[in-house]
Chains A and B, each alone.
Chain A
């Protein structure tokens, strides 16, 4: 099989890029992979069966793209890394791996970062999927009156990202349910973009190390975590390290100072993979809250489990489906209360939390392996011809229906629509016994 894979690549700071690199050797065992990037440089050493090709999203080399048996698009919600991928996916239907359900960030980002979607196009897109009410909210967002996350909850624009997909791969049951029934959606458990590290026993001495890492948007609830620490009776028994980029880091630092946590909390900003690795090896308890959730499985949660770390997670969306013995839950809207309860429990019985981490490590190995992930992706890709036939059938049916609406009435609609549907089925199935050859 020859497979096109459109994905962000290192050195871009993208978990999806890491996942792609990690997956390549497994795909390359079964397929010839052409890895497409619109970046002018990349840092990876691909396996022998993998070719890296650069493309210009304005003029993709369709002849070469069309040589593949299937095309796969890695789609996340960072407009900087996924705008070119989305553009190609709109023109050349393929298999979309959807890493986020809340794609509002992506589309409004295209406007704000001036990446080829103007205000009018954006508003029309929102209206198409979320009606005039959605358009009004989006207009408010463009005017700075409504935050992206709030808008995303009401107008996620998920289907805009998968509009022309042959099939959509999602990573959670919630995402599977969120997409329309007529779409070809496949649930494949996410895997993490690195091998599981070899662990040595952590230092159990106080102060215990708490860690937060990843992209630190407002839904990570950092101010609540800081307040929980600040009002905790024994804050000196912990140190909190925060890794990752965030909007408004300066304000966050001011909050740390204001809450008297300067000795307890360190904002590290973006760190390299090896620095993060060293930090996670020293961590005793991770905090991985999401409220609201972006709706999909969390790569960072898998990452924490690989390090055998206990973690506090919000009981919401994908996180709410996790086994009780692998994480410690925090109730939405009760963050401070629950965080403090867990810190107290942790000090009283750290071993019960370590057990969560060990269980998590087993869970990720059993349910989120890269081998299974690559195999599932190849299995979907192998069905590409049937998926394309289904796509054509759906497209023909939709456009026929639109055309017929203009001139057919109820009296003829039934018989005509039945015949149209029958012929579409015959055309796209490629065989008929209606007038079987007799000679």
Chain B
């Protein structure tokens, strides 16, 4: 029997038990985990019973990726302890391949090494002897996304990739970042740009270091986030030293949510120049903090939200162009503040809400 909705919750009385399937790459935490948690909270808030089912996933061994896909296909979540699971919402590869007669998928991203990041220098799949085999296995497996009753994507960028690479039509479905209501803008800003993200080749902290080496101003940057690997973290620090910018760089490492919001609040602007980002909470968090966003024209997700010279600056992905943008905002704090305020207004107009997300996923 269906559990009644919680007081004040919208009624989706026919669907009460929902499983969210995602993956966990051990020792790696990021936006995907927040996303799943946010969805679970939103579902519960709307009166449903929701649970996150996390499948371990290790992409480091290409020969075993197909095994992990098969393992997901063999999981049966249609019924738990004799009670039907009414809906399954798949989020990430390969957990979104788990079958269910009433499945929808909300694709955070596919296994990008098999698609747009194939042959990128920092991706190992194309450097593996069985890389082609793994890539094709992933692509064929992803065709099973069409089993779902509906395919949503985390952003227009993801939807475009699904269409381009897989011929699958997906609807972009935006959601607010975690704790959206807690972001703020301080009255007085500090003397730094803020770049909160995993230290990862795909986020291009190295490009920012190279840009710093070319700025006319003594631009300073605070990086927050843990490195994908200890080795990569070391390499970045060595690069900063080699470029002679280490004195203008702070490596905050892992920080709390409060510290993150504080750093956003006091920054001149936020730098976020990743390679074709899927969605990117950072853009939205910067907008919520009334901060201009400096990004690149190949950065993907951020471009869905940043209006050039209205809410941020969009440059070519070169150290020179990025350096010039940083110089401009460093010199012209009034412009930086103006773009930031416009960003906050732009965010408000997006009208992002979890309630709307839940409505669409359960339709």
Q: Mark B129-162, 1 if CB is under 8 A from A, else 0.
A: 1111100110111111011111100000000000
Specify which of A67, A420, A423 lies most central, judged by the most chain B CB atoms within 10 Å of its CB. Answer: A423
| A residues 61-110 touching B (CB-CB < 8 Å) | 62-63, 65-67, 91-93
A379 within 8 A of B: no
Stretch of A13-21, A343-351, A430-438 that contacts chain B = A430-438
Digit string of B93-104 for contact with A (CB within 8 Å is 1, else 0)? 000010111010
Judge whether A432 and B147 touch: CB under 8 Å.
yes
- Once A396-B67, A435-B99 are accepted as A-B contacts, the answer to whether A426 and B144 lie under 8 Å apart by CB is yes
CA distance A423 to B97 in the complex (A): 11
**Contact of A392 with B66 at beta-carbon distance under 8 Å, contacts A434-B147, A437-B146 already known:** yes
The answer to whether B149 and A438 touch across the interface, beta carbons within 8 angstroms, is yes
Query: Would you call B70 an interface residue if the criterion is a C-beta within 8 Å of the partner chain's C-beta atoms?
Result: yes
Q: Are B70 and A427 in contact (CB under 8 A)?
A: yes
Separation in Å of the B126 CB from the closest CB of chain A?
5
Say which one of A47-55, A123-131, A300-308, A383-391 lies at the interface with B.
Answer: A383-391
Considering the complex, give the chain B residue whose CB is closest to the CB of A436.
B147
> Given that A419-B74, A423-B70 are contacting pairs, would A439 and B144 also be in contact in the complex, using a CB cutoff of 8 Å?
no
For residue B237, CB closer than 8 A to chain A, the reply is: no
Q: How far is the CB of A134 from chain B (nearest CB, A)?
A: 28
Q: What count of chain B residues pass the 8 Å CB interface test?
A: 34
* B127: Cβ under 8 A from any A Cβ: yes
Could you tell me if B132 and A396 are in contact, using CB atoms closer than 8 angstroms?
Answer: no
Partner of A63, one of B67, B126, B144, B150: B126
CB distance from B88 to the nearest CB of A (A): 10
Distance between Cα atoms of A426 and B143 in the complex (Å): 9
Instruction: Name the residue of chain B whose CB is nearest to the CB of A70.
Output: B132
Nearest CB of B to A93, in Å: 7
Q: Does A231 contact B (CB under 8 A)?
A: no
In the assembled complex, the CB of B303 is this many whole angstroms from the nearest CB of chain A, namely 29
Question: Does B119 sit within 8 A of A, measured CB to CB?
Answer: yes
Also in contact, A400 and B70, with CB within 8 A (given A91-B129, A93-B130): yes
Q: Mark A235-252, 1 if CB is under 8 A from B, else 0.
A: 000000000000000000
Question: Is B128 in the interface zone, CB < 8 Å from A?
Answer: yes
- Tell which of A62, A395, A399, A435 touches B101, judged by Cβ atoms closer than 8 Å: A435
A184 part of interface (Cβ distance < 8 Å):
no
Tell me whether A428 and B147 are in contact (CB under 8 A).
no
Let me know if A132 is at the binding interface, CB within 8 A.
no
CB under 8 Å from chain A, chain B span 162-182: none
Max chain A C-beta neighbours (<10 A), residue from B74, B100, B126, B140: B140
> With a CB–CB cut-off of 8 A, which chain B residues contact A424?
70
On whether A431 and B133 interact (CB within 8 A), knowing A63-B119, A399-B67, A423-B73, the answer reads no
Q: Does B287 contact A (CB under 8 A)?
A: no
What residues of chain A lie closer than 8 Å to B293, measured between beta carbons?
Answer: none
Known: A432-B146, A437-B149. A427 touches B133 (CB 8 A): no
A399 to B68, CA, bound (A): 13
Q: Are A66 and B67 in contact (CB under 8 A)?
A: no
A60-B129, A399-B67, A437-B149 are contacts. A431–B99 as well, Cβ < 8 Å?
no
A92 cross-chain contacts in B, Cβ below 8 A: 129-130
Taking the nearest CB of chain B, how far is it from the CB of A372, in angstroms? 28
Contact: A63 with B70, CB < 8 Å? no
Determine if A429 is an interface residue (Cβ-Cβ < 8 Å): yes
A396, B141: Cβ atoms under 8 Å?
Answer: no
Let me know if B147 and A435 touch, CB within 8 A: yes
Contact string against A for B residues 113-128, beta-carbon threshold 8 Å, 1 for contact and 0 otherwise: 0000001000000111
Residue B69 lies at the interface, judged by CB distance under 8 Å to chain A: yes
- Contact assessment for A392 and B133 in the assembled complex, using a CB-CB cutoff below 8 Å: yes
Q: Is the CB of B140 within 8 A of A430?
A: yes
Measured between beta carbons, the chain B residues less than 8 angstroms from A437 are 146-151
Chain A residues whose CB sits within 8 angstroms of the CB of B150 once the complex forms: 437, 439
Partner among A63, A423, A428, A435 whose Cβ is within 8 Å of the Cβ of B137: A428
Contact of B73 among A395, A427, A429 (CB under 8 A): A427
**Known contacts A66-B126, A388-B132, A396-B66, A427 near B146 by CB under 8 Å:** no
Contact mask for chain B residues 79-115; partner A; CB cutoff 8 A; 1 contact, 0 none: 0000000000000000001011101000000000000
> B67: which A residues are within 8 A, CB to CB?
396, 399
How many angstroms between the C-alpha atoms of A385 and B133 in the bound complex?
8
What's the Cα separation between A91 and B149 when bound, in Å? Answer: 39
B137 to A427, Cβ gap below 8 A? yes
Contact of B144 among A93, A388, A432, A438 (CB under 8 A): A432
A–B Cβ pairs within 8 angstroms, 7 of them: A62-B129, A66-B119, A93-B133, A392-B133, A392-B137, A423-B73, A434-B99
6 closest A-B pairs by beta carbon, nearest first, are A430-B140, A430-B143, A91-B129, A423-B73, A435-B147, A92-B129
